[in-house]
Amino acid sequence: MRVLIAGSSGFLGSHLVQHLQGAGHQVTRLVRRAATAPDEVEWDPAAGRLDQATVDEADVVVNLAGAATFGNPHSGKWQRELRESRVQTTRTIARAVGASERPPAYLAGNAVGWYGEHGREPVPEDADSRGETLMTSVCRDWQAAADPAVESGARVCFLRTAPVLDQEAPPLRELRHLFRFGLGARLSHGRQYFPVISLRDWLGAVAFLAENDAVGGPVNLSCPDTPTNAEFTSALAEAVGRPAFLRVPGPVLSVAAGELAPELLGSTRVEPRVLIDAGYEFKDPDVRSVVAAGLAQV
């Protein structure tokens, strides 16, 4: 299978390239500089420039490009880059997919932030999007940018990804240090649901979607048993062998986290029903196995 990937230099993208190549797939990487390797193709998403022939030759296109999610939540520049980088890359690829005579499948990055606040309700893929928080509005624009591909009849999967826990990347990279120093803390009351997924399940699920022609539309990439923030805090504290008795009050977190506070204080009990119904088997179905996998670098 020929796979074209945008965002291949990022944490998830670089691991996905290795994972797909290890499975025998041919991977081509889109880069925003002059191509220097046979598996690279230059593109300019801000200008809407992408070689049509490269897209036409692909069986699957995966877009993971975008500015870092973890930035200064009080910065207007960061907020603009967060949105524009995702919309521009998604739209540029979607137009090329839509223009193809034989449209490849399009796995378009997105996030569970699309759903917004849902309290204790289960949140499968057909749940609605609520509220006007920064991440929720970004995710809506992000998804809408793929319309040209959807309207062409291409198979499009929206990868609604939960935080991927691995000690090489945030948030686990930073949190493990805090917890090892005894500074682990639940956020506010801790009863809000906090979806997560292990790196190996994220990779396995994306590869599964790339290979499975029967799946399209929104797909939740999160472990089946979504933990509360208190359960996540307990699992990480237990994994590093340190207590976590502290609590960050909600008002303090709202000030410190700014526009990202709703992502930390809100509750989204995500369920990956599409993956489960399609036959994907999770290696890490709950928070303790997700944390263990992330800390073990499996």
Confidence band for 297, pLDDT divided at 50, 70 and 90 = low
- Is 257 within the bounds of a domain? no
Where is pLDDT greater, at 266 or 69? 266
Where is pLDDT greater, at 246 or 17? 17
**3-class state of residue 54 by DSSP:** helix
Of 168, 171, 159, 167, nearest in space to 196 by CA: 171
Residue 298's pLDDT is 39
- Is 253 within the bounds of a domain? no
Residue 114's pLDDT is 97
Rg (CA), the chain: 19
- Is 37 within the bounds of a domain? yes
pLDDT for 65-101, tens place per residue?
Answer: 998 887 777 788 989 999 999 999 999 999 999 999 9
**pLDDT mean across residues, the chain:** 95
- Is 24 within the bounds of a domain? yes
- Is 174 within the bounds of a domain? no
With 60 as the cut, is the pLDDT of residue 110 above it? Answer: yes
- Is 145 within the bounds of a domain? yes
Of 285, 166, 165, nearest in space to 226 by CA: 285
Q: In what order do the strands lie in the sheet with 2-6?
A: 40-42, 26-31, 2-6, 60-63, 105-111, 156-161, 217-221
Residue 255's pLDDT is 86
Q: What percent of the chain has pLDDT over 90?
A: 86
Q: Where are the alpha helices (DSSP H) in the chain?
A: 11-22, 52-56, 76-99, 134-144, 147-151, 172-180, 199-211, 229-240, 250-257, 261-265, 273-278, 287-296
Q: What percent of the chain has pLDDT over 70?
A: 99
Residue 241's pLDDT is 94
Give the count of domains, the chain.
1
- What gap in Å lies between CA 87 and CA 91, rounded to an integer? 6
- Is 191 within the bounds of a domain? no
Ranking 50-54, 166-170, 193-197 by mean pLDDT, the lowest is 166-170
- Is 290 within the bounds of a domain? no
Report the CATH number that the domain containing residue 71 is assigned in CATH. Answer: 3.40.50.720
pLDDT for 37-74, tens place per residue?
Answer: 999 999 999 999 999 999 999 999 999 999 888 777 77
Range of the domain at 153: 2-165+196-226+269-285
